[in-house]
Amino acid sequence: MTAQHVLNAQGATHDELQILLRRAPISILFDLCAVFWDEFNPDPDPDSDLVIVRIVKSQQAGLFAAGLASLDAALHVEIEKFGAVDCFYVFGFPDEGREYDYEKKELAAEMDCFRGHLTEPKVEGLSTIQIEGDRPDDLRGMSGSVVIADLDEVWKFTGMVTLASEKRGLLHFIPTEKIAYYLNSIVLMKKMGLMIPKDTDIPHLSGWNKPPLT
């Protein structure tokens, strides 16, 4: 899962998306892609800045053995309970210091962790964290970062960062509650046979349209 605008900024297609493990020469393979951003809409909903891909089953065991970790979207903090969260943590890889060794196929990057508290939402459809303490001047590269909430000393997956405001130290994220809804919609659409083939003649329908929130 990552932010759709990351691909758009690089002029990349979903077939060109690559996710690499640090210190492991493995490129993750996907067999399914779901897109929620309407590329023909000049003003798409901020909470649709999301692309979800599925790792091929034959690769999963090897990836977990190499250090891949997973998060359970079902075990999240509901938006209505954000006010009770003790602290929010954001884990990601800013652009600074990020390098890729093409010969060894290894990604060199230092994971950053930011601590913050919930503040008034600044972007419609997204939640906002005010970073506390030290942070880099440039937050580029944080899109797609994981947001974790500390609620009663239990850490839970809470969202994915899509936007940042460096000057004010703000990170805006899609709450996991919405991401979980999208994941459930994918399962339902697949069961109903609504998957659109890769070779479709409609460019922006390489996955599924964003399902209506009810």
Q: What are the pLDDT tens digits along the chain (214 aa)?
A: 888 888 887 777 777 777 777 666 677 888 888 887 766 666 678 888 888 888 889 998 888 888 788 888 878 889 999 999 989 999 988 877 777 777 776 667 778 899 999 999 989 899 999 999 888 777 888 899 999 999 888 899 999 999 988 788 899 999 999 998 888 888 887 777 766 555 554 444 344 344 433 3
Spatial separation of the C-alpha atoms in residues 184 and 148, rounded to whole Å: 21
79-175 in CATH: which number? 2.40.10.120
Domain boundaries, the chain: 4-69+178-191, 79-175
Give pLDDT, residue 24: 66
In eight-state DSSP terms, residue 81 is: G
pLDDT at 105: 67
CB atoms inside a 10 Å sphere around CB 210: 19
The pLDDT value given to residue 210 = 40
Q: What is the pTM for the complete model shown?
A: 0.80
Residues near 185 by beta carbon (within 8 Å), at least 6 away in sequence: 208, 211
Return the HEC string of 143-191. Answer: CCCEEEEEECCEEEEEEEEEEEECCCCEEEEEEHHHHHHHHHHHHHHHH
Give the per-residue pLDDT at 198: 53
**The pair of three-digit structure tokens given for residue 5, joined into one six-digit string:** 């605008």
What does the pLDDT read at residue 63?
86
